[in-house]
Structure 1
Amino acid sequence: MSTSTIVLVVLLIALIGFVLGKRRGEAIARSQTGKLHSRAVYHGSYVFAFAALPALLLLAAWLIVSPVLIAMETRGGVPADSTVPPSLSLNIVGSLSNAVRVLPEDERRDVASMTIDQLVPLLERRGVSTVSGAEDWMVPVADRQARHEDLSRLLMSAASILLAIAGTVFALSRLRLRLKARNQVEQVVKVFLIAASSIAVLTTVGIVSSMLFESLDFFSRVSPLDFFFGTVWEPRFAAAGSEASGQFGLVPLLFGTIYIAFIAMLFAVPIGLFAAIYMAEYASNATRSVVKPLLEVLAGIPTIVYGFFALITVGPFLRDVSAQLNGLVTGDYSAFIQAQSVLTAGLVMGIMLIPFVSSLSDDIITAVPRILRDGSLGLGATKSETVKRVVLPAALPGIVSALLLTASRAIGETMIVVLAAGIAPNITLNPFEAMTTVTIKIVSQLTGDLDFTSPQSLVAFALGITLFFITLCLNIFALYIVRKYREQYE
């Protein structure tokens, strides 16, 4: 029985328990004098919790512990004189254990005594291909692993379902007139809410820890001063017996990241902010109901599509326009804007950021109390003066926070800059040339045939932790702005 099937069966039993518990609560209320401490629906929820939670927790623990125990037992079956590396041996044994499951029971009974040459024809007749490099000792080990996994799956299914049934029966037997079912159900909900919030915190801690430890390994090989203040990016580690090593200067990558994000914000902020002011202050309800959803459609477009748009349309267009302008002025029709450039990436990223700026700013401007607008208009100010001198100053802390959050989104963008900005780690103020960013180099360091345990992959972790702290600082600063300058209105 698959895991999803077990979960569905447990939830079905719990649902039946909910119905029975609710009906029993109603019956208790009718048959006994006095008032139920909790409504009948809480009695049903009480039974549901006792039926579902212990069974699902047991299922989760079984799924975590059982593979570890089976892997330990399988690892003990690897002979010491095997010519195959241990990690590869376990992978091959795992593939063989999955393959032997397709055999009928009468053939599978003899698998433990077979050699690999005897097993392969049986599997091929069933249309199953085996992994190359398998040895004879792997066949009985794989058969034993498969049987252990099947037995574990059977016991897990039976234990989970029986525990769900036992929980249902136990909870039904505890239903009483004055049972504080509501209090206990609310405690369960509270635990779930705490667990949900803890998952977010623990996930953040896990992400930071995974990057931090690898980054510390990187900085044990490369000086932090050379990394944070170096101006040349040629990432390579010295080979064994060689003293030649690369240069890991972060400055070109960080400069390109900030420069492209600046161009994008320079394009997105005016358009997004003006669009927000129009929708919040000037547009009719009918116009707003059409314009706002259409504008926010841009936020739903995948960034890889924006990257294709930049690579195929915007980049060549800017290059051709620059060539024509250069030809009209100097007679030389060579383009002074490269197809992959800071300007191309910045413009397309700015288009992507427009809905972030406009939607956040629109919500913030709309939240400004109506009484401020009415007071300004009542004193004789025009609509534009009210917006400029009353509404925008009141909404300014929130708008600044929205812009900082949008800047964090721009700094962390990957797919657009991969396709539109180029890969050259330059330090230049010319927006018509190609540059690269931190995210591009993270992608390049972790793609291809590179082993994740090799020193070359450590570069990506150092870049990742740097980018993480930059965006974290921007988010903290945005929260500081909001809390310090937020206006309180009654």
Structure 2
Amino acid sequence: MSLGLLSIILLVLAVAGYVLGRRKAVSQVEGDIRKLHSLPPFYGRITALLTAVPAFFLIAAWLLAQPLFLENKAISLINPAELPAGKSAQLVMADVRRVAAGLNMLAARGEDVTPLLASPSALKTALNGAGVVLETEPTPSTLAATAALRDAGKTSRLAMTIAALVLAVAGLAFGLSRINPEYRARNATEQFAMWLLIGSSLVAVLTTVGIVASLLFESIHFFQLYPISDFLFSATWTPKFGGGSSLGILPLLWGTLYVSAIALVVAVPIGLMSAIYLAEYASKATRAWVKPAIEILAGIPTIVYGLFALVTVGPLLRDYFAQPLGLGNSSSSVMTAGLVMGIMVIPFVSSLSDDIINAVPQSLRDGSLGLGATPSETIKQVVVPAALPGIVGAVLLAASRAIGETMIVVMGAGAAAQLSLNPFEAMTTVTVKIVSQLTGDTEFASPETLVAFALGLTLFCLTLALNIVALVIVRKYREQYE
């Protein structure tokens, strides 16, 4: 049974639980709902919640834990003697998963995949025709692991369906058995809803943990194949699929920081001054059209900014600055990407800073003006310092947005990984190389592919450091103005 059909059945059972729960509560008091502790809908709601929520929670937990158990069984079938050079059993599981996914795709089309498991060459041809490209023929142990993975997956899916349906029916029966005139259905419903809200609030935390864990585990695989010292301290980035790569992060990290710094130099002054003007000087009529006009910049797709950098800004900087000054003759440069990226993140600084400045109590302004300060002095000495924690948050958001940008860098700064102080030379960033290393028919078994996860982990640590610095600044100034 498919997951969609199972979900529909559970929802139907929940609706049935609502109707039956409400009907039972009313029937027990012979229609006089004044004898019930709670209104009839609450009896239906708690029954529906007890029917659906535990079953859906079981499905979610099952789907999260299922790959771990199934792949451990499949790994045990892989013959160490058949492992390619430089590959571990865990890395070969990437091939097993791809083959299993391809076979499931063929089976969904109505094709008989059983004969393919007995013929590696026929399997490779069939999968290549289905869009699942295999560079080499699967080994016998890989085919055995694939068959075991598919069989265990079917068994697990059937067991999950049965368990979810049994749990839903049990929840329905339990909910109905508790209904009586004295049952505090409203209290139970509200408490159940509170636990649902708590669970929902944990989704963000668990998502962060999952992201970090996935990056960390794959990065560990990468560092098992490539020395961490060469990754962190080498100044050469020359990936070569097949071996002989030099995967130093320093030029990528330098390009990321260089482009982001130029973007912030452009965005922070313009955005902050725009926010001060809109909050303190602009009339309501002017603010009504200037602020939306600035915020339109945030809605423009990044590919459009990339085209703008490629067609307009790059040639302009090359013809009027780089070539006359003898600093380069390429339209792709750090300055091109930084300027365009700075324009893109202006709304992040402007809109958030404007909201923070407007949130500063008017009493602070009135007190400053009453002491004889001018409006400009009030803004400089009172308003901006009081709003500084929020402004730092806005700048941090803009910095994170700049660090994570890809398309503008691809089209505006090029893809050259190098260490240089010349802003009119082509460079690249960490995000661009993450995309390039994962583009095309790649397998998660080589350092050239797994390096993308190490780059992602480095980027995560960089943004985490920015958050820590911002938190220190916010706490320092908040103590002075609260």
Bin of the TM-score, shorter chain as denominator length: 0.7 to 0.9
Contact conserved, 2:26 with 2:33, CA < 8 A, in 1? Answer: no
> When the two structures are superposed, what TM-score results if normalisation uses the length of structure 2?
0.76
Question: Residue 268 of structure 1 aligns to a residue in which SS?
Answer: helix
Structure 2 letter corresponding to 1:411: I
Contact conserved, 1:235 with 1:459, CA < 8 A, in 2? Answer: no
Question: Residue 486 of structure 1 aligns to a residue in which SS?
Answer: helix
Out of 213, 236, 239, the residue aligned to residue 233 of structure 1 is 236
Q: After alignment, is 209-218 or 358-367 more displaced?
A: 209-218
- Please say if 1:353 is aligned against 2:331: no
Cα distance, 1:216 vs structure 2: 4.4
Using the alignment, how far apart are the partners of 2:460 and 2:72 within structure 1?
37
In structure 2, the CA distance between the partners of 1:361 and 1:445, relative to structure 1 (3 Å rule), is same
Question: Residue 415 of structure 2 aligns to a residue in which SS?
Answer: coil
Contact conserved, 2:298 with 2:348, CA < 8 A, in 1? Answer: yes
RMSD, aligned CA:
4.9
Cα distance, 1:408 vs structure 2: 2.6
Cα distance, 1:457 vs structure 2: 2.9
Using the alignment, how far apart are the partners of 1:256 and 1:350 within structure 2?
15
Match of 2:313 in 1: 314
The unaligned stretches of length 5 or more in structure 2 are 83-88, 140-144
Match of 2:294 in 1: 295
Aligned pairs for 1:292-441 within 5 A: 292-322=291-321, 326=324, 336=328, 338-441=330-433
Using the alignment, how far apart are the partners of 1:402 and 1:436 within structure 2?
25
**Between Structure 1 and Structure 2, how many residues are aligned?**
465
Using the alignment, how far apart are the partners of 2:454 and 2:462 within structure 1?
13
Structure 2 letter corresponding to 1:233: T
Cα distance, 1:354 vs structure 2: 0.4
Cα distance, 1:467 vs structure 2: 2.0
Using the alignment, how far apart are the partners of 1:239 and 1:98 within structure 2?
29
In structure 2, the CA distance between the partners of 1:15 and 1:245, relative to structure 1 (3 Å rule), is closer
Q: Deviations over 1:387-409 (max 9, x none)?
A: 22221121123212321332232
Using the alignment, how far apart are the partners of 1:162 and 1:190 within structure 2?
25
Q: Deviations over 1:211-258 (max 9, x none)?
A: 33444455564252x54444x313458988xxx7747261x3322222
Cα distance, 1:263 vs structure 2: 0.9
Using the alignment, how far apart are the partners of 2:402 and 2:372 within structure 1?
41
Question: Residue 318 of structure 2 aligns to a residue in which SS?
Answer: helix
Aligned pairs for 1:47-446 within 5 A: 47-60=47-60, 99=106, 160=164, 163-216=167-220, 218-219=222-223, 221-222=226-227, 224=229, 226-230=230-234, 232-235=235-238, 246=246, 248=248, 250=250, 252-322=251-321, 326=324, 336=328, 338-446=330-438
Match of 1:447 in 2: 439
Question: Residue 336 of structure 2 aligns to a residue in which SS?
Answer: helix
Q: After alignment, is 28-37 or 363-372 more displaced?
A: 28-37
Q: Deviations over 1:335-355 (max 9, x none)?
A: 856311111011110011101
Cα distance, 1:272 vs structure 2: 0.7
Contact conserved, 1:55 with 1:160, CA < 8 A, in 2? Answer: yes
Using the alignment, how far apart are the partners of 2:151 and 2:308 within structure 1?
53
Question: Residue 286 of structure 2 aligns to a residue in which SS?
Answer: helix
Contact conserved, 1:364 with 1:395, CA < 8 A, in 2? Answer: yes
> When the two structures are superposed, what TM-score results if normalisation uses the length of structure 1?
0.75
Structure 2 letter corresponding to 1:48: A
Q: Deviations over 1:420-448 (max 9, x none)?
A: 11223333332222222222333333334
Contact conserved, 1:426 with 1:435, CA < 8 A, in 2? Answer: yes
Question: Residue 360 of structure 2 aligns to a residue in which SS?
Answer: coil
In structure 2, the CA distance between the partners of 1:475 and 1:337, relative to structure 1 (3 Å rule), is farther
Using the alignment, how far apart are the partners of 2:295 and 2:63 within structure 1?
42
Q: RCO higher in 1 or 2 (8 Å CA, sep ≥ 6)?
A: 2
Cα distance, 1:314 vs structure 2: 1.7
Using the alignment, how far apart are the partners of 1:90 and 1:217 within structure 2?
17
In structure 2, the CA distance between the partners of 1:32 and 1:479, relative to structure 1 (3 Å rule), is same
Q: Deviations over 1:116-166 (max 9, x none)?
A: 99xx9xxx9xxx99999899xxxxx99999999889877866765565455
Using the alignment, how far apart are the partners of 1:246 and 1:145 within structure 2?
36
Structure 2 letter corresponding to 1:222: P
Question: Residue 451 of structure 1 aligns to a residue in which SS?
Answer: coil
Structure 1 letter corresponding to 2:203: I
Question: Residue 210 of structure 1 aligns to a residue in which SS?
Answer: helix
In structure 2, the CA distance between the partners of 1:277 and 1:448, relative to structure 1 (3 Å rule), is same
In structure 2, the CA distance between the partners of 1:35 and 1:364, relative to structure 1 (3 Å rule), is farther
Structure 1 letter corresponding to 2:406: T
- Please say if 1:21 is aligned against 2:21: yes
Contact conserved, 1:394 with 1:487, CA < 8 A, in 2? Answer: no
In structure 2, the CA distance between the partners of 1:350 and 1:89, relative to structure 1 (3 Å rule), is closer
Using the alignment, how far apart are the partners of 1:25 and 1:408 within structure 2?
54
% identical equivalent positions: 52
Q: After alignment, is 157-166 or 410-419 more displaced?
A: 157-166
